[in-house]
Amino acid sequence: MLPPELIAEFAAIVGAAHVHSQPAQLLAYSYDGTFQQRVPDLAVTPGSTEEVAAVVRLCARERLPMIPRGAGSGLAGGTIPVSGGVVISLTRLDRILETDRANRVAVAEAGVVTARLQAEVEAVGLFYPPDPASLNQSTLGGNAACNSGGPRCFKYGVTKDYVLGLTVVLADGRILRCGGKVLKNATSYQLTQLFVGSEGTLGVITELILRLRPLPRVRSTALALFERLDDASATVTAIVAAGILPATLELMDGTTIGVVEDYLGLGLPRAAEALLILEQDGNDEEVTAREVERMAALCREHGAVEVRIARTPAERNDLWQARRAVSPALGRLRPNKLGEDVTVPPAAVPALIQRVRAISEEVGLPIPVFGHAGDGNLHPNILFDRRRPGELGRVERAATAIFRAALALGGTLSGEHGIGTLKRDFMVEDVGPVGLDVMRAIKRALDPQGLLNPLKKLPPTDEPARSGFLSALPSLEGIIPDTGHPAFAEAGA
């Protein structure tokens, strides 16, 4: 709890209604999409970049940790106030300032919910492709801070490919404006990109200039079922080799199919080891449909036992039902899950899935795998029951083995969720000691007091991860349901 006179100083900046210091209020800023929880000393909801800057200056003066927060949907513990301090919630910065059709860009504040921007630009024939499954909750600032992706990113790229400019409040309260509406910019260091993916450790993003594309007019979808996972993987390789660039190439493994079938009863064959959802978009109905037919033919050639093609929007919706149901379906199997996010070179996807299966058997926990097969970004979800003694230790063994399997295959720890607290202790194994040195030098230059989102992304030492890293994470067991916020239950991870 901070002294009342200091709380009054925060109130003088943002208004008393936007300072949250009561225990019940602080709980609302204590969690994210993981099972970690810790209450901050204070939370504030500033209403402008200038107010954010004044809050940051006050925190810097008082040496208080500052934790930028969007919707709190993160899956890496990035917004958990592990060191206490002040949560700076950006949700009141929710204005879409401009949809500039001539330059094909949008300018929006950091607290705008992703889906709202998408709907607004689509209404005038434009398109903002990054589509995290949390898009109805997550904010543009959070998306940029995590460099978020989604099913469409194989064809269209991730958030970093759309951020042209940023307004960022630095750790000392100065306001940096970098980039702009220009599509090419070789002038400064790539400062805009430095803040994308920085997970709130280098500055507080308050405004974004985002690149848009023309909205594709038509979309065509197919679903294919395979008895053998290897056949599905060979199909993905064949589609890429055929020069097709699908808008979406999603994969679910056999365990996931079984769990979804138990939940929805869609008639998916339980013997199937893999399911692919293939989608193409474009402007010509015939060309788009033909590309989906070509992909469907490749599926059959490579052993698909069943291929369904959607002819109407309602049928398309049906095909997506299985994928959308994954998250709630997993919750029925075990009360807790650790959703991982490793990425490997696309051709290594089958090897990673086989390894995850072996790990699942070794530790005795179900680990369904699904994700974005086209870009090699997979979500092995380790399912567990935290109440069972020793289970967290098994989760830890599984997570460690999955990280190391991905790295051994030339992959990386995170494709779209970021590092936060969950994967921080494995960073040295991914980026190496020199990479960490460079990251720490950047951190020191921009945040010499180390107050911006401390203990996230950067490990305190170069020591490899030790056992007990999961149980050491903060949690307020029993106070909030540990499956996360109910609003996220319907979204697929």
List of residues contacting ligand FAD (CB under 6 A): 32-33, 67-75, 78-79, 90, 110, 132-134, 138-139, 141-143, 145-146, 148-150, 199-200, 204-205, 327, 416-417, 420, 453, 456, 488, 491, 493
Least separation in angstroms between CB 200 and ligand FAD: 3
User: Is there a contact between 257 and 270 (Cβ–Cβ < 8 Å)?
Assistant: yes
CA distance 43 to 226: 50
> What SS3 state is found at 390?
coil
**For residues 141 and 272, which CB has a smaller minimum distance to ligand FAD in the complex?**
141
**For residues 67 and 451, which CB has a smaller minimum distance to ligand FAD in the complex?**
67
User: Is there a contact between 436 and 428 (Cβ–Cβ < 8 Å)?
Assistant: yes
CA distance 117 to 93: 13
Least separation in angstroms between CB 114 and ligand FAD: 8
Structure tokens at 299: 């599926």
Closest by CA to 422, choosing from 327, 339, 335, is 339
**For residues 103 and 412, which CB has a smaller minimum distance to ligand FAD in the complex?**
412
**For residues 112 and 224, which CB has a smaller minimum distance to ligand FAD in the complex?**
112
**For residues 46 and 254, which CB has a smaller minimum distance to ligand FAD in the complex?**
46
Least separation in angstroms between CB 348 and ligand FAD: 20
DSSP 459-470: -SSSPPPPTTTT
**For residues 226 and 403, which CB has a smaller minimum distance to ligand FAD in the complex?**
403
Least separation in angstroms between CB 408 and ligand FAD: 24
CA torsion sign for 405, 407, 411, 416 is positive
**For residues 339 and 366, which CB has a smaller minimum distance to ligand FAD in the complex?**
339
**Angle at Cα 27 formed by Cα 21 and Cα 29, nearest 5°?**
85
Least separation in angstroms between CB 269 and ligand FAD: 26
Least separation in angstroms between CB 208 and ligand FAD: 9
CA distance 130 to 152: 7
**For residues 56 and 239, which CB has a smaller minimum distance to ligand FAD in the complex?**
56
User: Is there a contact between 370 and 330 (Cβ–Cβ < 8 Å)?
Assistant: no
Least separation in angstroms between CB 349 and ligand FAD: 17
**For residues 109 and 231, which CB has a smaller minimum distance to ligand FAD in the complex?**
109
CA distance 131 to 437: 33
Helix, strand, coil content of the chain in percent (nearest 5): 40, 20, 40
- Residue 407: partners with Cβ closer than 8 Å, 6 or more residues away: 413, 429, 430
Structure tokens at 373: 């097969």
Least separation in angstroms between CB 400 and ligand FAD: 22
Q: What is the DSSP letter of 205?
A: E
CA distance 186 to 44: 37
The per-residue b/e assignment along 468-482, b for 16 or more CB within 10 angstroms, e otherwise, is ebbeebebeeeebeb
**For residues 307 and 493, which CB has a smaller minimum distance to ligand FAD in the complex?**
493
CA torsion sign for 327, 133, 198, 42 is negative
Least separation in angstroms between CB 74 and ligand FAD: 3
Least separation in angstroms between CB 67 and ligand FAD: 6
